[in-house]
């Protein structure tokens, strides 16, 4: 029997973007239900940062997963990652102790780290041309997932309690076969291939990773602080989660426009400008209320996510022979470093309130804007 013809690249890209949607949704809904989990397990708010760090620090494995992915090729690591993220999502509402919760969050973080490097390299291979647009489309799926799923998780908890979070595992399990069909099988990196020229790349990579880590801290601080601040002021769980939705879903505008702006303004101008806007918005959130809170959150999302496709492509340009590894550095290691910094938010907001956390995040965004002067440039499209 003749094999079925492969789907067209745009359809395969759409399938990969959907898989990114369900993976990142399952791996990142925690902030939307964090107030309920803290109450359910009788935990102090000072542990909020620790729980977020347990979820996110596993992303530091992405560079190593990328190296393994480059060596073995294929798409298996992304498939295993999607299964693990979904399984962990289904278990969050069933844990009975802080230790068990942290173990499940670590499982989600490690699985999320396994999903991304091969998937990101696969998108670039699938695109051939217009790689910036293809990367944006793939990343948009993840950002919408991270934005929508906290609200879905909040609705599950409101309607049926924490146990209903198990429903969030089902889309990921159902999407494994779609990802297996849509993701390209990556070639193996030859064992005889030239090793990474660390002396030539270490400076550029270090500056890029630190920039991405500062940006990640601002993102993680915002998604942690917004629901907690809303809940502390008497707001509902689902409304607090919807602030995360505004941040991440409206941030899709930045994702889609970032590549276009970089081509016209230059990558360095975009990196500096967006982080300056992020610093202003984050500082203003410390004192905002009412409609201003929603507007500033939307502006912050656009500014933060405008640079995400660009920094991944810069990392892959610096390491063209190990693109999965480069993606893992710019996304995974940077996110892990940002997650470690989030641990300090818990004691800070318990002592000084959420406003102090927003001001700290604004300082990190300002530092990223300064560092962007030395981040490697990417050539403009002609």
DSSP string, 29-83: -HHHHHHHHHHHTT--GGGHHHHHHHHHGGGGGHHHHHHHHHHH-BSHHHHHHHH
Phi/psi of residue 343, nearest 5 degrees: -55, -35
Query: Given pLDDT bands bounded at 50, 70 and 90, which one contains residue 6?
Result: low
Spatial CB neighbours of 1, under 8 Å, sequence gap ≥ 6:
none
pLDDT band at 40 (very low <50, low <70, confident <90, very high): very high
Any idea which fold 9-187+198-374 has? Growth Hormone; Chain: A; (1.20.1250)
Give the pLDDT confidence score for residue 94 in this predicted structure: 96
HSE-CB for 267 with a 13 A CA cutoff: 20
Interval 26-48 mean pLDDT:
91
Comparing 105 with 10, which gets the higher pLDDT? 105
Partnered with residue 186 across adjacent β-strands are 74
CA 299 – CA 254 distance, rounded (Å): 9
First to last CA, the chain: 45
| Tens digits of residue pLDDT in 117-128 | 889 888 888 876
What local confidence, expressed as pLDDT, does residue 194 receive? 61
What is the widest separation between alpha-carbon atoms in the chain? 68
**Which of 129-138, 165-174, 335-344 shows the lowest per-residue confidence on average (mean pLDDT)?**
129-138
Sequence-separated (6 or more) residues with CB below 8 Å from residue 160: none
Which range in 49-63, 292-306, 308-322 is most confidently predicted, on average pLDDT?
A: 292-306
Query: Is 382 a residue whose pLDDT tops 60?
Result: no
How far apart CA 141 and CA 115 sit, in angstroms, is 14
The chain-wide mean pLDDT, for the chain, equals: 89
Assess whether pLDDT exceeds 80 at residue 158: yes
pLDDT grade, residue 191 (50/70/90)? low
pLDDT of residue 1: 43
Q: Is 186 helix (H, G, I), strand (E, B) or coil?
A: strand
Cβ-Cβ contacts under 8 Å for 203 (sequence gap 6 or more): none
Closest CA to 183 of 256, 81, 107: 81
Distance CA 295, CA 227 (A): 16
Tell me which of 139 and 217 has the higher pLDDT: 217
Q: Is the pLDDT of residue 93 over 60?
A: yes
Mean per-residue pLDDT, 208-219: 97
- pLDDT band, residue 366 (cuts 50/70/90): very high
pLDDT of 2 reads 44
Residue 318 has a pLDDT of 86
pLDDT at position 170 is 97
pLDDT of residue 213: 96
Query: What is the C-alpha R_g of the chain?
Result: 20
Buried b (16+ CB within 10 A) or exposed e, 343-360: bbbbebbeeeebbebbbb
Boundaries of every domain in the chain: 9-187+198-374
Q: Which residue has the higher pLDDT, 195 or 237?
A: 237
Rounded to 5°, the CA angle 27-76-335 comes to 35
pTM, to two decimals = 0.81
């Amino acid at each position: 029997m003749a094999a079925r013809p492969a789907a067209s690249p745009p359809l395969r890209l759409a399938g990969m973007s959907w898989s990114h949607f369900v993976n990142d949704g399952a791996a990142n809904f925690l902030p939307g239900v964090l107030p309920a989990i803290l109450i359910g397990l009788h935990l102090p708010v000072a542990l909020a940062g620790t729980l977020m760090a347990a979820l996110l620090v596993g992303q530091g494995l992405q560079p190593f997963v990328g190296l393994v992915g480059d060596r073995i090729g294929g798409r298996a690591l992304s498939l295993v990652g999607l299964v693990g993220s979904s399984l962990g999502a289904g278990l969050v509402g069933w844990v009975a102790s802080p230790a068990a919760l942290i173990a499940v969050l670590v499982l989600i973080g490690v699985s999320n780290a396994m999903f991304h490097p091969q998937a990101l390299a696969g998108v670039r291979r699938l695109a051939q041309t217009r790689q910036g647009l293809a990367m944006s489309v793939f990343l948009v799926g993840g950002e919408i997932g991270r934005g929508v799923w906290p609200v879905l998780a909040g609705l599950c908890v409101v309607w049926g309690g924490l146990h209903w979070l198990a429903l969030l595992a089902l889309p990921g399990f159902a999407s494994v076969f779609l990802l297996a069909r849509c993701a390209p099988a990556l070639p193996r990196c030859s064992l005889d291939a030239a090793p990474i020229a660390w002396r030539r790349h270490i400076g550029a990579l270090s500056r890029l990773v630190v920039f991405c880590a500062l940006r990640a801290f601002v993102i993680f601080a915002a998604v942690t602080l917004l629901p907690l601040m809303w809940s502390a002021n008497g707001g509902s769980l689902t409304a607090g989660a919807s602030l995360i939705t505004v941040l991440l879903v409206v941030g899709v505008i930045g994702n889609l426009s970032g590549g276009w702006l970089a081509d016209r303004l230059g990558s360095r101008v975009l990196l500096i400008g967006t982080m300056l806007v992020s610093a202003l918005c984050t500082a203003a959130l410390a004192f905002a209320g009412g409609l201003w809170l929603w507007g500033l959150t939307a502006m912050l999302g656009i500014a933060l996510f405008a640079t995400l496709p660009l920094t991944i492509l810069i990392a892959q340009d610096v390491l063209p022979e190990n693109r999965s590894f480069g993606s893992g550095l710019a996304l995974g290691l940077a996110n892990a470093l940002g997650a470690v910094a989030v641990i300090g938010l818990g004691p800070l907001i318990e002592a000084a309130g959420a406003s102090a956390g927003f001001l700290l995040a604004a300082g990190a965004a300002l530092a990223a804007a300064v560092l962007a002067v030395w981040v490697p440039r990417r050539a403009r499209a002609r």
